Amino acid sequence: APEGQWILMATGRSPTNIAVIKYWGKRDEALILPVNDSISVTLDPDHLSATTTVAVSPSFPSDRMWLNGKEISLSGGRFQSCLREIRKRACDFEDEKKEIRIKKEDWENLHVHIASYNNFPTAAGLASSAAGFACLVFTLGKLMNVKEDYGQLSSIARQGSGSACRSIYGGFVKWCMGKKDDGSDSMAVQLADEAHWNDLVIIIAVVSSKQKETSSTSGMQNSVETSPLLQYRAQTVVPSRVMKMEEAIKNRDFASFAKLTCADSNQFHATSNSVEYFYWQVAYTFDAGPNAVLISPNRKTATLLLKKLLYCFPPQDKDLSSYLVGDKSI
């Protein structure tokens, strides 16, 4: 910053999440309100996460953002919604040394610079927007001394990208679709924390890092418009599946968890006419891209599976042990 000016910064990291009961279809495009509840597992941040630094200074003439080192436009409605909703809730701030004082009403006139990095392929169907918007909203909230609880923050992150509301929490998370037209009750809640089912191992087979051709936003729009199955799925199938999944998670019941996860992945893909595969020793789920997510009941099965996978798809430079780190992802 120029002489006599200051910069205030905050940095945060958010992992991505993998839905086991899928969000697919909106009832309100602008507010991002879904047609059904969804449930996901938030990964540990070592492998798939966004790291975002937000800075504010009187010397910044405008809001700007860089994604993976490249400047991107903030003019989109989703970024604007998140910035507006966080700014609206900003509170008085004073730093520890009492050198910087920002009044609640001053935040409106201060511009932000945002730098975000993903440690995994962006827009390849691995929920990069979930990690990205959760991280942006959470970190901006810290910077601007926002005092909202996690539920409220998740509701703001939802307006950046639907699945982002679930990445506000670790562990097992449910996005409650809500009933209200203004979206104020469409937010995420934590079902169980990350320590609850420690044995569960999630393996993500990245078969392509290329940016996918159809965005989730337009993919689900298409399903809403063309799939006769979608309404039936949202109104009749998912509500009971969500209840069963909550039970399976609570009881760490892998057989039910695997069956529901695979069935839901299949049905979600069936609304967009995709192909399905079965592999019952582990659970699998596919998001809106080509990369397979495999969920093993324990590290022993995960190791056997990894050996087979690595035999078929040998890595160029790593040994097996380097994949077996962290809690929930390999």
Neighbouring-strand partners of residue 214: none
Interaction of residue 129 with ligand 2P0, rule CB under 6 A: yes
DSSP element (H, E) containing 201 = strand 201-205
Contact yes or no for 14/134 (Cβ under 8 A): yes
Binders of ligand 2P0 in range 179-238 (CB under 6 A): 216-217
x/- mask, ligand 2P0, residues 74-113, rule CB under 6 A, reads ----------------------------------------
Tokens 């509301």 found at = 165
Per CB under 6 A, contacts with ligand 2P0 among 234-293 are: 287-288
Please say whether the beta carbons of 166 and 173 come within 8 A: yes
Would you say 57 or 272 has its CB closer to ligand 2P0?
272
CA distances from 66 to 52, 115, 174 (A): 10, 5, 30
Selected range binding ligand 2P0 among 126-134, 136-144, 232-240, 243-251, rule: CB under 6 A: 126-134
Asked whether position 23 contacts ligand 2P0 by CB under 6 A, the answer is yes
Tokens of residue 290, six digits: 């080509």
The nearest distance, CB 166 to ligand 2P0, in angstroms, is 8
Contact map string, positions 142 to 171, toward ligand 2P0, x by CB under 6 A = -------------------xxx--------
Least separation in angstroms between CB 127 and ligand 2P0: 6
**Candidates 124-132, 186-194, 299-307, 315-323; binding stretch for ligand 2P0 (CB under 6 A):** 124-132
Q: What is the number of other CB atoms lying within 10 angstroms of the CB of residue 6?
A: 13
The reply on whether position 132 binds ligand 2P0 by CB under 6 A is no
| Beta-strand relationship, 292-296 and 201-205 | antiparallel
Q: How many angstroms separate the Cα of 202 from the Cα of each of 11, 185, 248, 284?
A: 27, 30, 17, 9
Pairing status of strand 111-118 against strand 187-192 = unpaired
The residue range among 59-67, 68-76, 123-131, 290-298 that interacts with ligand 2P0, by the rule CB under 6 A, is 123-131
